[in-house]
Structure 1
Amino acid sequence: MPLSDHDALTDLFATPPGTLYLDSAAHGPRLCSVHSAAEAALADGVAPWRIDMDDWYASIERVRTLAAMIFEGDGFRGDGDGVALVPSVGYAMSLAANNLALDADDTVLVLEGQFPSNLLPWQQRCAQTGAGLVAVRRAPGQDWTAAVLAALDTDPAIRILALPHAHWHDGALLDLDRISARAQARDAALVLDLSQSLGALPADIARWRPQFVAAVGHKWLLGSHGLAYLWAAPHWRAHGQPLEQNWFAREHAAAMASPSQPPPYRAGARRFDAGGVAHAQKLAMAAAALSQLQDWSIAALSQALGARTAAFDAVLREHGLEDWGTPGHAPHLFGLRPAAQRLDAVARALADAGAVFTQRHGVLRIAPHLQVTPAQMRMLAERVVAAAQ
């Protein structure tokens, strides 16, 4: 299906009529195929004895491979060995923090206002080791990339950079090509939370060479809560220590035999698989969602989402309100910052037009998906302009 066929794209989603859902950064819109897969899996659970274990294992590996293709792109041919199934990004980042070496004279770099899942684990780890934690701030007129690079230039103690690709507040984009190159030159470890970009923006793991990457499944990957993905660099697939011990991460037959010594871990990042996450309904939803993303291709999807935010931006520019937008935002996500005295009026205007969005700290976060058309985005921007008067 061409991504220019807006009517057909709208029909793929279960969003109620009359709703202009702009909150994909909180929870991705529900695809009809994902909803149907969830219902079918729930129905199958009425008779669990009919579910074949080999089929269950195969469904796990299918999701793992599909996720690997989103993380790694076609160049890796969906190498499932790199991906673990985990319950959350907080879990994944706690695992990363526990595995990476960190001494008292080292520093971990994060962004000011970073999402808690990629902040709290580093705060805890720094408290345990005595290491420092630096939350980078932007100077007026400075973007996040320049702020991070400046911090790397001035602080030789930085050993770990824990970053997103797009800031969750307003979609401000980081140039991970430049940042990763500087980190590699410094021999600093890069850890990425791609929850606000993976599935909507191509990732270049081969170029960035991170140690760990994580993303939740329920935002831009269009799946369910409770199933997230952790990508681990090859070293950690052989030597990393999991957060927990469960039979699922070990050689199954040996683990179920109650051995006197723990059996070997399963191959690759499977050693990091969390217990309980391979839930049939979540797996079915993930497989349907990831398959649809593959069919669209992330590059094409990113361009299509960019056309939607660009339509909104264009109207703001036409009326001299471009400073209300986020400079250099990601194609799929931006923050709208009306003048303080017009904030409530703008929020009401959007809501009255059927828009659903997040409002936080004076920012209206706008995160459309394909079921919202460019024409609808222009209409919403015109409502904003009218409310600005």
Structure 2
Amino acid sequence: MARARARLASRVRREICYLNAASWSPLPIATQEAGRVGVARKGRPWSIDAALPERQFERARRAAARLINADPDDVALISSVSYGVAAAAKLVTVPPGTRVLVLENDHSSAVLEWTTRAQAGRFSVDAVPRPDDGDWTAAVLTAIDAPGAPAVALASISLVHWADGGTIDMDRVAAALRKHGAML
């Protein structure tokens, strides 16, 4: 801690009191150095080892797998959520007359692919309403088992709601979806 404080003191003059860390926090020194290395590498693209991207991807997959206690083979790297959802939508069939669940006010990346396919696929896209009590898990479970509603074929939802930070217990939701033969 003392070493980190000393490094920070060498970068910020004592008379400065910087309080805007919410949107413009100072980058850690290691991050700045990694950025310099990356920019220098891109300045000479002909010298980049062709195997470097694959090594970086594998390192990221292993790190993500450790973080979520998974096998690296269970981690897919994609350029964006919308690309991944679009790829998944091309690989699965949502049966006509069923529902795709999304979260109300969720980021468009997890939603738009399904709304654009719904009419042609003759399925509906239902937005799980934002719960007043903040319990997204209960709200999703209620939507899955909604009486009189068409069967759920797929839920296109995230572990954390992008706008409010509400979390979803994916183990419980996945179990409920499996019980109905639905995809997650």
For 1:21, the equivalent position in structure 2 comes to: 21
Alignment of 1:259-298 (within 5 A): none
In the alignment, which residue of structure 1 is the partner of 2:4?
Answer: 8
Whole-angstrom CA distance in 2 between matches of 1:113 and 1:136: 9
The equivalent residue for 1:165 is 159
Offset at 1:59?
Answer: 3.0
TM-score where L is the length of structure 2: 0.77
* Equivalent-residue separation in structure 2 for 1:7 and 1:126 (angstroms): 56
- C-alpha spacing 1:184/1:18, structure 2 compared with 1 (3 Å): same
Query: Contact between 1:102 and 1:159, CA under 8 Å: does it hold in 2?
Result: yes
Q: CA deviation at 1:127?
A: 2.9
1:104 aligns with 2:96: yes
Structure 1 residues 19 and 53: CA distance shift in structure 2, 3 A = same
Shift of 1:183: 1.2
Spell out the pairing of 1:96-175 with structure 2 (5 A cutoff). Answer: 96-138=88-130, 140-141=132-133, 143-154=135-146, 155-175=149-169
Listed one character per residue, the Cα deviations across residues 352-373 of structure 1 (whole Å, up to 9, x for unaligned) are xxxxxxxxxxxxxxxxxxxxxx
- Alignment-derived partner of residue 314 in structure 1: none
What amino acid maps onto 2:65 in structure 1?
Answer: A
Q: Which runs of at least 4 in structure 1 moved beyond 4 Å after TM superposition?
A: 14-17, 138-142
- Shift, 1:93, TM fit: 1.3
Q: Alpha-carbon deviation of 1:69? A: 2.9
CA distance in 1, matches of 2:156, 2:53: 34
**Which stretches in structure 1 are left out of the alignment for 5+ residues?**
191-389
Q: 1:98, 1:125 within 8 Å by CA — same for their partners in 2?
A: no
| Unpaired stretches in structure 2, ≥5 consecutive residues | none
Distance (Å, rounded) in 1 between the aligned partners of 2:167 and 2:176:
17
1:180: Cα distance to partner? 1.7
Structure 2 partner of 1:266 = none
Decide which of 68, 93, 99 is 2:85's aligned counterpart: 93
Residue of structure 1 in register with 2:65 after alignment: 68
SS at match of 1:37: helix
Identity among equivalent positions (%) equals: 31
Q: How many residues align?
A: 176
- Write 1 or 2 for the structure with the bigger share of strand: 1
Mapping for residues 362-373 of structure 1, pairs under 5 Å: none
Work out whether residues 159 and 187 of structure 1, in 8 Å CA contact, stay in contact via their aligned partners in 2: yes
Contact 1:107 1:159 in 2 (8 A): yes
CA offsets per residue over residues 79-106 of structure 1, 9 Å max, x none? 2x33343221111111122222212211
Contact conserved, 1:106 with 1:157, CA < 8 A, in 2? yes
Q: RMSD of the TM alignment (CA)?
A: 3.1
For the 8 Å contact 1:161–1:188, the answer to whether it is kept is yes
Q: What amino acid maps onto 2:30 in structure 1?
A: S
SS at match of 1:113: coil
